[in-house]
Structure formats: structure tokens, C-alpha cells
Structure 1
Amino acid sequence: MPAAVAHTVALAGARIGDDLAQAMRGWRRDFHRYPELGHQEHRTATRVAELLRGWGIVVHEGYGGTTGVIGVLDGRLGSGPTLGLRADMDALPMQDQGGHEHQSRHDGVAHACGHDGHTAILLGAACHLAAHPDFAGRVVFIFQPAEEPLTGAQALVDAGLFRDFPCDELYGLHNNNCIGPGQVGVRVGAILSACDLFEIHIQGVGGHAAMPHQANDPIVVGAALVQSLQSVVSRNISPFETAVLSICQFQAGSAINVIADHAVLRGTVRTLSREAQARTLERLRDLCEGAAQGYGCRIEFRHLLSSPPTINQAGPVDHVKRAAAAVLGADQVIDPVTPLMASEDFAYLLDHCPGAYFFLGHDGLTCHHPEFDFDDALLPQGAAIFATLAYQRLADSVSSKASAT
């Protein structure tokens, strides 16, 4: 009979009750009120661990020396596969200008990307699954620190996440106002871009503005370099690939009549494949070396940060669509034609485990807007989809066992 219950829930989709939905709203607004930056999510992590323990879930707090929290729940129908569900917990270093009652109490820190909502969603799924563990196998709840600086996922991997908690499949989500409220968007292949941040330091020779022949002007070198970098995408990346290279800062000089001796360019590269990522960075370095030789100055290319593209596999994408259709209806599940050029360090986790990342349609401002506030209507939807994924994938293993016998 328990196996039959599991199959029924898997087909119909999990349903989040009003009491749990209301509790999720309270957790979310509390997290929003007290946001914490990456690797500093101590209050958030403590609250997450406290709630998980209260539901009888095994908790690993401060995992790997980080602020990450890992919860482990075994189903009551016996052994089976392990499903990983992930949420990010950190906030952004910016002012919250939302003006609502739960506005940030921490000056210069705001949940302007919706991680407060993602954390509440995963807590809601954990609560529901702990109360109704009608599945065979294990669910690992991954509450990840430091997604915004794109370092938290790699920190968990380096600490041994998939050695200590091996997962057969892995799923994550993000709010997105590019699709309609009540919709889920998921696609095979790249859904988010790789992100590479860089600095270019140009060391010239300073001098008097009236005697430029006695100097080696780094601004001239930098201006030429900015222009030449525009050819990287248009002349080195296939038209069938996608890449964006932007110089966002050009800093030099301290006086109107002095030729600077040093200039700094800063920018970002976004790509949708590892091949385009590698080629773009290679050409960046080549052009810096060429400019240094051509202008007789010293140029240092500094690669500050890199994360891979977030690439979904076909099987897990189908599983997300099936779960979302059970919760929201098949007509609410869409396949975005194009990926977003934003980036996510969930990509590091997908390097080690097959899975999928999907979007929940958000009614409100875009992420990183100073007045952003998470749409609370998404909370029960997201939790229900996560829980349904668990029931469907782990109920499938019950089915396989039954047919084998």
C-alpha cells in the first residue's frame, strides 16, 4: 500500500497546504529582513539547520568549513537512488530600497536576487517530504553559500560534497520575470552562460601632458586595446556560438595635465560553451601580449574569476517538465528559446552530477534591482515541484523493483 501511495502522489503532484505555505512566507521574509553576504550566512544557516532538525532530518551544519548546510532524508519504502535538491542562501552587497515591512535591516546588504525565496522553497519541500516520506531512496537538501561571488558551489565540491553525499541526479531553480507567473521554463543544453571576470593592467611611462614624446601613454594603449577586443567575438567566435565581451571600467590618471603611468581595464566575458569560453580568453591574452609588444609597454592580464556555463541534460530536463506539469499543468511548462546570459555556480555541481536547472516565473522586478522583492506566490509552487521531483524519481525506482520481481 505505501508504494501505491507513492505512485499516486507522483502522478498527481505534491500539494503544499496553506499552513506550510504561510510558514514559508514567514521564513522567506525573515531571511529577507536579515540578509547575509556570501560565506557569511551564519544566521541563515543556523535557522535552516534548526528547522531541518525539527522535522527529523539529519543535518550536517557548517559543512566542509563553509556556512553550507546539508540535510539528509531517507524514504520509508527502503533503499533506492539519491536525489539532490539545492538552494542558494546569500544576498547581494547593495542597498534594499523596497520600502516594504520586511525591508533589509542590514545596511548595504539586500536579498535582491531571490535567494531568500529559494531557501524558503527548499525548506518547504524538506518539511513536506519529511512529513510524507513515501519514497524509496534518499533526498539530499543542499543549502549552498556564496552563489553571488560564484565560489560557494566549488567550495562544497572541494570539501567532498559528492563523496560524502553521492547523488544520482541534482536539481536547482531560480525565479525569473522573463517568463510568466505560474510558469516553469527549462531547456536542454546551456540555460545560463559561463562568467569570466578580468583585469588588464597597463604599465606605461608617465609625464607632462605638453611633452608626450617623453612618456609612454597607457591611455592610448588602453584605448587601442578596447577597440581591438571588439574583434574577439565578431572574428574569432563562430556565428553559431554565443559570446559577449564587455569592458566595463577604464581607470587612469589623476590630473588633467599629467600623462598617467598606469591604466586598468576591467570587464567580463559571457559564453554558452566551454569551447567559446576558452577561445575568447585565449584571444584576450593574445591581444594583450600583442599590444604590449606593439606599444613597448608592460601589460598584465589577470583572470579574476571563472565559472562554466550551466548545461542541462536531456533526461533531467524531461523529469523537471513532468514534475512541473503535475503541479502546474502541462500548458504552464515552456521551453525557453534562448538561454540567459547571466551566470550561476550551480554549473560546478552539474560538472559532477547529472541534473537540471529551471526557472520559476516571477511577477515583479528583475533580479538585482534595488527594489526587488521575491514573489511569495512562487513559494508553494517551487516546493511542490521539488517534492514532486522526489516522489516521481524515487517512485520510479519502486516501480523498477516491482517489475524486476
Structure 2
Amino acid sequence: MPVKNRLSELLPEITAIRRDLHEHPEIMFETHRTAQVVADKLREIGCEDVTTGIGRTGVVGVIKGKTDTKRRVIGLRADMDALPILEQTGLEYASKTDGAMHACGHDGHTAMLLGAAKYLAETRNFDGTVVVIFQPAEEGGGGGREMCEDGLMERWNIDEVYGMHNWPGRPVGSFAIRPGAFFAATDQFDITVNGKGGHAAKPHETVDSTLVAAHCVTALQSIASRNADPVDQVVVSITSIESSSKAFNVISQSVDMKGTIRTMSAEMRALAKKRLYAVCEGVSEAFGAEVEITYYDGYPCMVNHDAHTEFAAEAARKVSGQCDEAPLIMGGEDFAFMLEERPGAYILVGNGDSAAVHHPEYNFNDEAIPAGCSWWAEIVEHRMPVA
């Protein structure tokens, strides 16, 4: 039976799993119930080995093909964690955990990979080994890095690895991908400007930290407009400004700022960081203030490997008839850590006309399940065909 036909038959079962996960969202590394559901399902479908606790709360399952003549191993990865958002969908299976919801579709990713795992365990129509990877803490916790540091690639001898994300705004079940840099590096920073506070009626006796901070905000935009090559993407955003005083008649002693820098190359990432320090230190010195900067290196740029991007696109074309070129995405994705350790690719599958990810009204579209499951299965059967 063709892959997609069998996975369409499994749609009610996979949908039920997805909606159960949606009802019980778990954040960051606290994916204990989710991991247990995943591990139980993998054992139920006949995985040869199921290991929990990888990267704290990650789960890894092993499925062996009919043959293993070339000793090849492919990893398939789905993320499991939810977001700290109050759900506003009104669904009958809406989150039962106050302040947490699956607002990015990781419930769908997990369910689709479980569906693909069930199909692969039933058919074994491949020559080699499949390692299914269920990762916690994609949403800011670096669960992909944690799993890699826990020996994921070496322990299971993974040769190449593939991931997927649903994408609102694309037709349901359609695919898009691009080679090379795909998702941005995501760094964050804290900036504190320390001046000399005083009475608002006597600004000449102060060093106005609010004024200095305002000049920093403006000057930091010169990184994109005057330091970066116009064709090299960089976004510098100040997302929070808070002064030490809340009074109308007080010039604040200090101002705290938070923000993020998004880049698509290691060179631009290094330049943007260097310029942030130079700009803030220079502006502060010019006004007689002092500045403290704490910089947090976040996820690296996620880079698809060229050959494996084409493998992924070919599998997508077999499933849906075509595969479009995806745009550059300035959001982050910690599958980047896995692609730094092994070659592979990451693809987008259409979620239809839904709310955007990270929105309180978002919901994963269950109609995308057959396409997503089929893509993972096609990758395996295409890359490790039975002779």
C-alpha cells in the first residue's frame, strides 16, 4: 500500500494523539507526561529500543529495516514542548493547563512523527535503521543542544537527520524548503545605562540615562543601515525599556533595555555583536554615562545541507506533487544544533489559513497530518531503499 494511503488510514488515531497532547501542554524541559506518552506509543508499535531522559526529557526510538546491508542510520526529529501562553481557541480539546498551550504546533509535529514511526515499524520497507527523536525545550531552552551534548548522534550512530515545522499561510500539506541558511541565529542582550539621577527641573545637574538610552536605541539601527552589507540580513530590536524611576519629576539614575539580534551568517553575527558594544559604549561615554552589557549567544543560524535539501524536496514532491522555495526566516530554530553535528535538512509543511504560530488562537491543522507523516516515511524509503 502506498505510504500516503496507509497514513491516511491512521489519521483518526494520530489525530487523537495530537489532540490529547494539545490538552496537556508542557513547557521547556517539563515534558514529562508528553515523553511518557511518546515512549509508551513507541514501545506499543514495536520499536526495538526506546530510551528516555536524553537531553533531560527527550525520547529516542529505534526502528530497524528489513535489511541492513549498508549500516546506515537516519534520524527524524520532532519537538514536544509548548509555550507559556493562555489559549484562546475555545476548542473542546483546548489546554487544560492554565497559562500553557501548544501555540507552535509541536503537538502536531510529535503526533506526525509517531504516525510515521508506526508506519515504518509496520512495513520495515527500508535498508538500515531509523532513529526517531522527540526533543524537549525547542522554545528557548536549547533542547536540541542538550540532546547533542548527551551524545545523541554518537550513541545511535546517526548519519543524517531531518526535521519539519508546520507553517501557517501555506496551503495545507504543501511543502517549502531552501538550501543553506534558513532560520536565523537568535542572540539576546541586556543593556543598563547608568547616569546621574536628579530633579526633572534641574537636568543640567544630572546625566540623563533616559536620554542616553534613547540615543542608543536610535544609533543601534545603524548596524543594519550602515554596517551590514545590504544583502546580508540582520535585525536589531530593542524590545523593552525600563527606567529606575516611575515619577513624573525625577530623572532616572539608570535605564535597563532588552533586545535581540537576528542574523543569517557567522560573519554578520560577530559584526553585529561587536557593533552593539561599540555603539552603546561610545554613546554612553559621549554623554558622561556608563553602560553595562550582558550578551547571550542564542541558537546559531540553521543551515540546510545542499544535497540533503534536495533529498527532502524530492520526498516532498512525491507526497504533494511539488515543493516550493521557502523564504529566509528570521525566527530561530534549535534544530540548528543537530545540523551542525550531522548533514540533513529542515522543511516546512503548510498549516493552511490558521492563526500565526505563537498566537493564542493558533491551532495545528490535523488535515496536514497525512502529508507530514508521509514526508518522513518517504525520506527513509528514498534514502535507504531495500535492494
TM range (shorter): over 0.9
Of 264, 275, 290, 1:272 maps to 264
- State the distance in 1 between where 2:28 and 2:360 align: 18
Which residue of 2 is the match for residue 3 of structure 1?
A: none
8 Å CA contact 2:4, 2:370 repeated in 1: no
Which residue of 2 is the match for residue 6 of structure 1?
A: none
Deviation sequence 1:319-339 (CA, Å, 0-9, x none): 11111122222xx31112x21
Which residue of 1 is the match for residue 79 of structure 2?
A: 88
- Report SS of the residue matched to 1:62: strand
Of 50, 68, 85, 1:78 maps to 68
Q: Identify the range of structure 1 (211-220 vs 384-393) with the bigger mean alpha-carbon deviation.
A: 211-220
**Counterpart mapping for 1:330-341 below 5 A:** 332-336=322-326, 338-341=327-330
Which residue of 2 is the match for residue 54 of structure 1?
A: 44
Q: Identify the range of structure 1 (102-111 vs 15-24) with the bigger mean alpha-carbon deviation.
A: 15-24
Q: Identify the range of structure 1 (292-301 vs 117-126) with the bigger mean alpha-carbon deviation.
A: 292-301
- Report SS of the residue matched to 2:384: helix
Deviation sequence 1:274-323 (CA, Å, 0-9, x none): 11111111100111221232222221111134111111111111111111
Which residue of 1 is the match for residue 285 of structure 2?
A: 293
Matched, 1:220 2:206: no
8 Å CA contact 1:206, 1:215 repeated in 2: yes
Which residue of 2 is the match for residue 362 of structure 1?
A: 351
- Report SS of the residue matched to 2:103: coil
Deviation sequence 1:8-42 (CA, Å, 0-9, x none): x8xx6554344421111001000100100000000
Gaps of 5+ in 2: none
User: So what's the TM-score if we normalise by structure 2?
Assistant: 0.96
Which residue of 2 is the match for residue 102 of structure 1?
A: 93
Percent identical residues:
40
**Counterpart mapping for 1:203-242 below 5 A:** 203-242=194-233
- Report SS of the residue matched to 2:311: helix
- State the distance in 1 between where 2:10 and 2:172 align: 21
Matched, 1:353 2:342: yes
Of 24, 28, 33, 2:18 maps to 28
- Report SS of the residue matched to 2:235: strand
Matched, 1:151 2:142: yes
- RMSD over aligned CA atoms reads 1.4
User: So what's the TM-score if we normalise by structure 1?
Assistant: 0.91
Structure 1 residue 163 displacement after superposition: 1.9
Matched, 1:142 2:119: no
- Report SS of the residue matched to 2:82: coil
Gaps of 5+ in 1: 1-8, 400-405
Structure 1 residue 355 displacement after superposition: 0.6
Of 277, 292, 317, 2:309 maps to 317
8 Å CA contact 2:197, 2:252 repeated in 1: yes
- State the distance in 1 between where 2:288 and 2:154 align: 50
**Counterpart mapping for 1:119-130 below 5 A:** 119-130=110-121
8 Å CA contact 1:233, 1:245 repeated in 2: yes
8 Å CA contact 1:197, 1:268 repeated in 2: yes
- State the distance in 1 between where 2:4 and 2:23 align: 29
- State the distance in 1 between where 2:270 and 2:141 align: 18
- State the distance in 1 between where 2:220 and 2:288 align: 19
- State the distance in 2 between where 1:101 and 1:307 align: 35
**Residue identity opposite 2:264 in structure 1:** L
Structure 1 residue 179 displacement after superposition: 2.3
Of 328, 332, 342, 1:343 maps to 332
Structure 1 residue 169 displacement after superposition: 1.1
- State the distance in 1 between where 2:203 and 2:227 align: 35
Q: Identify the range of structure 1 (220-229 vs 73-82) with the bigger mean alpha-carbon deviation.
A: 73-82
**Residue identity opposite 1:30 in structure 2:** D
8 Å CA contact 2:80, 2:134 repeated in 1: yes
- State the distance in 2 between where 1:309 and 1:230 align: 21
8 Å CA contact 1:13, 1:326 repeated in 2: no
- State the distance in 2 between where 1:179 and 1:215 align: 54
- State the distance in 1 between where 2:302 and 2:3 align: 27
How many residues are treated as equivalent by the alignment? Answer: 383
